[in-house]
Structure 1
Amino acid sequence: MSLGHALRRIIEEYPLARLDPPAGHPLASVIRKGAPEELRAALAPIDGPFLVKGSPGRGSHWAAIPWLAVFDPAITTSATRGYYLVYLFPAHREAVHLSLAQGTVAAIRNHGPAAAGAHLRASGAALKARISDFADALPNATIALGSAGELPEGYEAAHILGLTYDLPDLGDERRLHRDLAVAVAAYRALKARGGLDLPRSDGTA
């Protein structure tokens, strides 16, 4: 298996897999183990450390939007907080988004479900400006996941920048590795330039 093959499997098999319980399902194992292993292999030429996790959901429920994430442990070890790189699999099309994203659950807890989206979008715009030199290589200013709900809509709002692959794109393993390296560089640049610490509206840090 390769990174592209693992991503393709998730895209193609997830809709049907959701008809069965996730416990013991082979695709759940791919998302939790197989795909993270391929992503770690793709990250091997890049100096780490990196923590890689994949989630098909929790307990007896498949996630509306499965994900495969890369964390810098100095920033965060969880998709709930901080910022990280993540492959998100939309529900409405055969594609995958590579997103530099903010933690969604922490924003919902801190600002409430009604205000979290607006907070994340405003923060994301400021963070995008902070790493504007990556906008050409990671041109997606927004993403769509095709699923209603607090978390999918939060993931959309939490997006900073990234790109999208359709199924034919996943056959180009060199491109996937090259794009991943650029995304890691953007992740590190955001860290070096202040991370999520943004000036307040009164101009103070």
Structure 2
Amino acid sequence: MSLGYALRRIIEEYPLARLDPPRGHPLGTVIRKGAPDEVRQALAALDGPFLVKGSPGRGAHWAAIPWIAIFDPAVTTSATRGYYLVYLFPTHREAVHLSLAQGTVAAYREHGPRALNHLRASGDRLRERIGDFADRLPLTSLDLGTTGDLPEGYEVAHILGLRYGLADLGDEGRLRRDLALGIDAYRALKARGGLEF
């Protein structure tokens, strides 16, 4: 398997997989283990301790938006708080986004009905903080194709990133270079104060 192949499998197979129970489903294993293993392999050339996790959902429910996330343990070890790099799979299943994003669940807990406004304003400030990456990570907004607290939170928590269509996933070298670039932006954000304003 390669990183591109793992990402393509998730895009193409997720709609049908959701018709079956998630427990023990082979695609759940790809999202939890196979794709994260490919991301870890791509990260091996980069210096630093990274934690990689994938989520197809919880318990008996598939996620509306599955994800594969890369965490710097000095920043966060969870997609619920802090900021991290993540592959997000929109519901239209024609693409995958590489997103430098903020954790959403902690924002909902802390800010309640004002969480989306908080994340949006914070994202604007963080985008300015790493503005020198804007031309190489030009995607500044996401449309994940569904509603609900988490998908809407993911959309407004996005800082910078890239979009890949299916045709883009055959270029393994590009995917690895882009991942390294995303890590550079992640590190720059950490070095420049992260979420502290």
Deviation >2 Å, runs of 4+: none
Counterpart of 2:32 in 1: which secondary structure? helix
Shift of 1:115: 1.1
Q: What is aligned with 1:169?
A: 168
Partner amino acid for 1:175? R
Partner amino acid for 2:190? K
Aligned residue runs from structure 1 range 51-130, under 5 A: 51-112=51-112, 114-130=113-129
Q: What is aligned with 1:36?
A: 36
Q: What is aligned with 1:7?
A: 7
Q: Which TM-score applies when normalising by structure 2? A: 0.99
Q: Distance in 1 between matches of 2:115 and 2:16?
A: 32
Q: What is aligned with 1:19?
A: 19
Partner amino acid for 2:37? E
Q: Distance in 1 between matches of 2:125 and 2:93?
A: 29
Tell me the matched-pair count. Answer: 197
Q: Distance in 2 between matches of 1:10 and 1:92?
A: 12
Unaligned runs of 5+ in 2: none
Partner amino acid for 1:44? A
Q: Which TM-score applies when normalising by structure 1? A: 0.95
Q: Distance in 2 between matches of 1:121 and 1:68?
A: 22
Q: After superposition, give the CA deviation of every residue in 1:5-63 in whole Å (9 maximum; x if it has no partner).
A: 00000000000000000001000000000000000000010001000000000000000
Q: Distance in 2 between matches of 1:116 and 1:64?
A: 20
Contact 2:12 2:93 in 1 (8 A): no
Aligned residue runs from structure 1 range 121-200, under 5 A: 121-198=120-197
